[in-house]
Amino acid sequence: MVLLALADDTAVEEVVLGPGGLISSLGDAALVDTSTVSPATSRFSPPPSPGGRMVAAPILGAPAAVLAGMAT
């Protein structure tokens, strides 16, 4: 399983889809993205490899809310 918690759409796109990105080496692992990004970014293109899974599980709330245990 690979867990992402990145700052924004650009960061997710670079880490997942960029040169040497996760999408090319994910295999049958699950990719869980907790980044708060646009729906389009959550629907990675191309999708994970056959057998791979992607779960969009955004954490809502600013860093202060997360630290205070108030994120949803």
Give me Rg for the CA atoms of the chain: 13
Q: pLDDT for 4-48, tens place per residue?
A: 999 899 999 999 889 988 888 888 888 899 988 888 888 765 566
Give SS3 for 34: coil
Report the pLDDT value the prediction gives residue 52, as an integer from 0 to 100.
Answer: 74
Confidence of residue 54 (pLDDT cuts 50, 70, 90): confident
All structural domains of the chain, each given as residue ranges with its CATH number in brackets, are: 2-67 (3.40.50.720)
Tokens of 32: 């869980």
Report the pLDDT value the prediction gives residue 45, as an integer from 0 to 100.
Answer: 58
